[in-house]
A and B are shown apart, each in its own frame.
Chain A
Amino acid sequence: QQPVQSPQAVILREGEDAVINCSSSKALYSVHWYRQKHGEAPVFLMILLKGGEQKGHEKISASFNEKKQQSSLYLTASQLSYSGTYFCGTSGYGGSQGNLIFGKGTKLSVKP
């Protein structure tokens, strides 16, 4: 089942912070975060596995609440280069753990 992302879109000024949420109705084994710029391929940011939390970048981090089946992506002191659409991808248990189901994305626009 497709995870639900919120908000759908957000507009920031440079230097502001943002939080993007991703929630699932089923038990999760892992959550991935990707950023896609217009006309380009999605780029891997980080992965969070059951039982752990991983910070992928200096100003971009994420949390994973297994009990609530939710993950949040935190972008601090945003830069113009952060603009793009952010996708969370989730995988459950079983043989298809590597197969990600992506949310509909959150469009982030950072203005000067």
Chain B
Amino acid sequence: DTAVSQTPKYLVTQMGNDKSIKCEQNLGHDTMYWYKQDSKKFLKIMFSYNNKELIINETVPNRFSPKSPDKAHLNLHINSLELGDSAVYFCASSQGLGGMFFGSGTRLTVV
């Protein structure tokens, strides 16, 4: 069983489209995250979420929105995609202050 799974693995779409990336964790962790890794390999936090609190990185455009139907899922919706959104998006989870477990990533290409 994959601990943190995200789909799709690859996503190619046109500018202006709306897309979603799904993430599920079966570790029973209380916090989930979305990170963006650009072409220079810089890992930048976008959101963190647990049952109580959503923390948004203020630099993230409001075209990006996390949706959490339950504790084990944190999906990422992106509206009006732009070329600069092309990157690898990683979902991750952690319990308390423990280590973070990452999904395998979604490579988003906007054309």
Tell me the smallest distance from the CB of B105 to a CB of chain A, in Å.
6
A41 touches B97 (CB 8 A): no
Binding site for A on B (CB under 8 A): 31, 33, 40-45, 48, 53, 55, 90, 94, 96-105
Bound Cα distance A99, B33 (Å): 8
Binding site for B on A (CB under 8 A): 29-30, 32, 34, 36, 40-44, 46-47, 49, 85, 87, 89, 91, 95-102, 104-105
Bound Cα distance A105, B37 (Å): 12
Q: Lowest 9 A-B CB distances belong to which pairs? A: A44-B99, A41-B102, A102-B43, A99-B48, A42-B102, A41-B104, A96-B55, A47-B99, A98-B31
Residues of A with C-beta under 8 A to B45: 99-102
Once A32-B99, A41-B102 are accepted as A-B contacts, the answer to whether A98 and B41 lie under 8 Å apart by CB is: no
Q: List 23 A-B contacts (CB under 8 A).
A: A29-B97, A40-B104, A40-B105, A41-B90, A41-B103, A42-B90, A43-B102, A44-B99, A47-B97, A47-B98, A49-B97, A85-B41, A89-B43, A89-B100, A95-B53, A95-B55, A98-B97, A101-B45, A102-B43, A104-B41, A105-B41, A105-B42, A105-B43
Bound Cα distance A33, B15 (Å): 36
Tell me the smallest distance from the CB of B91 to a CB of chain A, in Å.
9
B97 touches A100 (CB 8 A): no
Tell me the smallest distance from the CB of A67 to a CB of chain B, in Å.
21
B100 touches A100 (CB 8 A): yes
Residues of B with C-beta under 8 A to A102: 42-45
A44 touches B100 (CB 8 A): yes
Tell me the smallest distance from the CB of B2 to a CB of chain A, in Å.
11
A99 touches B41 (CB 8 A): no
Bound Cα distance A42, B105 (Å): 10
Tell me the smallest distance from the CB of A20 to a CB of chain B, in Å.
15
Bound Cα distance A103, B40 (Å): 12
Which of A34, A96, A104 makes the CB contact (< 8 A) with B48?
Answer: A96
Bound Cα distance A91, B97 (Å): 10
